Amino acid sequence: MKLNFSINYATQWGESLHAVLSYRSDHGTCRTQNLAMQTLDGLTWTLETAAVESRHHPITSITYHYQVEGAEGQLLRREWTLVPRTYFFDHSKHYLFSDQWRDRPLAFHLYSNAYLTTRHLPHGEQAKPLRVPLYRKTLLFRVSAPQVEAPQAVAIVGSHPAMGSWSPAKYLPMEYVGQHDWLLSVNADAIALPLEYKYVVIDKTTNQLVSWEEGDNRIVHNHIADGQVHVHYGETLRLREHTWRLAGVVVPVFSLRSQHSYGVGDFGDLRRFVDWAVATGMKVIQTLPVNDTTTDGHWHDSHPYNITCCMALHPHYLDLEQLGQLSDKHKMTAYHRKQRELNALPYSDYEAVDSVKRQYVADIFDEHGKDTLDTSHFKAWKEANNHWLKPYTEWLCTHTPNLTADQQQRQTTLTIYTQYNLHLQLKAAADYARSKGVVLKGDMPIGINRHSVETTLLPHLFNLDSQTGAPPDAHSPQGQNWGFPTYNWEAADTSATHTNTPPTVTQWLRSRYQWMEQYFDAVRIDHVLAYFRVWEIPYTALSPQLGHFSPALPMTPGEITHFGLPFRRQLLTQPFINDTILQNLFGIHTQYVCQQFLDPKPYGLYQVKPHLDNQRKIEAHFHGHNDENSIWIRDGMMTLLSNVLFVEDPRQPDTFHPRINAWQEPVFQALNADEKDAYMRIYNNYFQQRHNIHWGNTGSRRLNNTLSHSRLLICAEDLGLLPPCVAPVLDTLRIATLQVQTMPKQGTYEFTHLDHYPYRSVATFETHDMPPLRLWWEANPYRTQRYYTTMLQKQGHAPQQLPPHLAEEIIARHLYCPSMLCILSLQDWLAIDGTLRSNNTQQERINHPDDPYNRWQWRMHITIEQLLAAHHFNTKLKTMITRSKR
């Protein structure tokens, strides 16, 4: 009944390795132990324990994994556990587990739901503790072989006659455990050690050996005593897998258009769109987030990343036809008239759609709602989802003023009815896509609305005194302020031990990925850099330039002084204001600004009056004043408040971050030459050297703990200013990167060569935050000419507008690149055909990140039915995709 574990794993000082064991019985009971392992050298870790059985609940199986913990018991790393180490347990045996640490396998994509969908394989398979014969001396072999598919199987051949003496005809077939794992027990009583062996692939229909695994022979060295079971498991089958490459399309659900929709794409359209993907040979449909973003039904709610509930679906995506027809023919005539009016618009009118759909749902609910509410399926769904339905409906009621108790009850019931039908329709679209071998790829927003259900219900998960954004870069010189609160990741270092303990950020994010698996087989992680570090802006500020990285290692006054810059708090951390700066900013308004907004200080300096000492106060003061002079003064005051060299850390008092690009500000000129030199040393140390290891460890821990149980194919949006630690972490966790030819990750190149893309990546020409291909081509003729000459290798002048044949060539080049996924926007696919593509390229852009009032309204200009009828175009796409071996 003894269990011995041994594993080689190099830890750092203060870290310890633990084995987490779960004992299960036939009665469904489960007992878990977290046991610290021992080491003499920090490399080889061992553990010996005894399995104590209950007479009433005998142990039938054991499952375990390894994890690294810090000195205070916090979880630092956990090995890959999607395929569990689980075995049938015989209380009369002594088990010895000689293990290897399991990171995500190199071919992790073969375990993903996306791969299973395209191969028409079942989802949700679990590795089971298979009962196999055990002997006086037993060797138990287990191997992971995701490369092997029916009718092939795995077998083993070894050097001893009991294992075939290397004869291809005398292999020992293994038994399938589940999740690509195979198991075999061998009677080792008469086997002399060391024993050499290899795994082989056989064809079960012909019983012929198909291939030997590559590499050196595997060897069993250890002596086996009576009653012992030696388990050998760790390295995967050493055999090359077939290259899996897919083509796909990116289109927001709201952008779909069919004869059946009501002014906006819906989940019924998404199902119809699957047919077009099948007709063209595409295997992936990528959408933007489909969560509810509703606050008051106005245009700012059209932002799909500003979600108000991470489990609720957006009511706009309800296919009204699937709800049924109203019995009142006059009402139906009016609704059909409104449907034609909305569909005639070249864009999606958010406010009009919101009004029409809400009224129709209310009318159909009055007629048929009770029939739905009485079904057992609805009741079961409501019970299973009540943990988020209840706070969601309560939040909606609090955000709808002046409702009576009866009105609140009706709104609650109507909301649950709406969400139930949304779930049914998206699930139906997802199941239909899977049946056709098409992967739906969702989008996981990094942020959430500051006044959302989650910030109300779980405020401890968020830093509500801060907001998320992006630092200034070449594409956004002023940076970006998204307004979302940042996460309180510190809570994620302590695991919840009681059912009533509030969730941590990691647990909350894990539940969101699990929710997405209902509908999607792959996911795009929006702004994956936030798992490493986020650009955190104080809520009192509007300018992203006043932000700082978090987590970070801010500097103490002593450290700043050590770099050669004497620490003077007033000069370094307060806005530097003198007459020259005021004259340059305000011109004729300088005297007025001095009198109304500033207080004088010694040496000809000024400070902002206390009631206007941050940018939020300035914004509130000038609210409603839209004349030219007021805007001039308001913007000048905002600039004044940004004129600092350091910003103080909000959670570590008396520590400071260099303000990004402060060397371009007037305050930098107030320093003498030596101080400027010292400041630039501080600046370069902070932004280029100081954080790489810290961020790498942080991102690895957060991503691994969050995604360890997910079966989704994970794809990262890793654009922007990337610290060097990001790429190796994403590679270790087998997360696909995003490759955009016009945003190269290598040095100072203007464009990326497509042949240099890594296999585990997603190739595209642009994201929804950028202009589509045709609009990009027209925007900058000089840049286009360079692309035309260097990337397309053409001579002469580039055409002013992108002709279809060049669009086809650009897309073909992307299809032939090495990337696992090539997913292009619908606008770019249509650019190939001169008759199908839009006549107005300006209307094809989805989002302008620099515009906080952007309306997310783009809608495809032709219907899905017209796309399906474009046989020549569809055949061309299918031929291109097939020839590129996607």
Query: Containing H/E element for 69?
Result: strand 59-69
Query: Is the distance from CB of 178 to CB of 122 less than 8 angstroms?
Result: no
Write out pLDDT tens, residues 59-114.
999 999 999 999 988 888 899 999 999 999 998 999 999 999 999 999 999 999 99
Under 8 Å CB-to-CB from 837, ≥6 apart: which residues?
774, 804, 827, 830, 831
Give the tokens for residue 476.
């956004």
Which position has the token pair 């009198």? 595
Under 8 Å CB-to-CB from 380, ≥6 apart: which residues?
none
Would you state the pLDDT for residue 187?
A: 95
Residue 162: Cβ within 10 Å count: 17
Cα–Cα dist 80/100, whole Å: 11
Strands 218-220 and 208-212: unpaired
> Per-residue b/e over 534-568, b at no fewer than 16 CB within 10 Å?
bbbbbbbbbbbbbbbbbbbebbebebbeebebebe
Give the tokens for residue 39.
């080491």
Would you state the pLDDT for residue 500?
A: 65
Distances from the Cα of 820 to the Cα of 30, 248, 435, 736, 742, angstroms: 40, 11, 22, 8, 19
Cα–Cα dist 425/758, whole Å: 36
Query: Is the distance from CB of 434 to CB of 117 less than 8 angstroms?
Result: yes
Would you state the pLDDT for residue 359?
A: 97
Query: Containing H/E element for 172?
Result: strand 172-173
Cα–Cα dist 247/252, whole Å: 17
Cα–Cα dist 549/479, whole Å: 13
Nearest to 510 by CA among 18, 41, 807, 75: 75
Q: Which amino acid is at 291?
A: N
What are residue 380's phi and psi, to 5 degrees? -65, -40
DSSP H stretches of helix in 440-578: 453-457, 505-516, 557-562, 569-573
Q: Which amino acid is at 158?
A: G
* Chain CA centroid to CA 349, Å: 29
- The H helix count followed by the E strand count for the chain is 25, 38
Query: Is the distance from CB of 114 to CB of 79 less than 8 angstroms?
Result: no
Nearest to 549 by CA among 688, 677, 678: 688
Cα–Cα dist 147/110, whole Å: 7
Q: How far apart are the first and last CA of the chain?
A: 52
Instruction: Spell out the SS3 assignment of 231-278.
Output: EEECCCCCCCCCCCCEEEEECCHHHCCCCCCCCCCCHHHHHHHHHHHH
Instruction: Show the low-confidence residues of the chain (pLDDT under 70).
Output: 492-500
Nearest to 838 by CA among 255, 269, 252, 285: 255
DSSP 3-state helix, strand, coil percentages of the chain (rounded to 5)?
A: 35, 20, 40
The residues with which 342 forms a beta bridge, in sequence order, are none
* 446: helix, strand or coil: coil
Query: Is the distance from CB of 463 to CB of 486 less than 8 angstroms?
Result: yes
* 739: helix, strand or coil: strand
The full DSSP string for 561-578 is: HHTT----HHHHHS---B
The model's pTM is 0.94
624 — alpha (psi -120 to 50), left (phi > 0) or beta? Answer: left
Task: Count Cα neighbours of 647 within 13 Å in the Cβ-side half-sphere.
Answer: 27
Give the tokens for residue 556.
């103490």
Nearest to 266 by CA among 864, 878, 880, 867: 864
Q: DSSP E strands: which ranges in 662-775?
A: 713-716, 737-740, 761-764
Cα–Cα dist 265/429, whole Å: 13
Q: Which amino acid is at 92?
A: S
Residue 513: Cβ within 10 Å count: 20
Cα–Cα dist 574/571, whole Å: 6
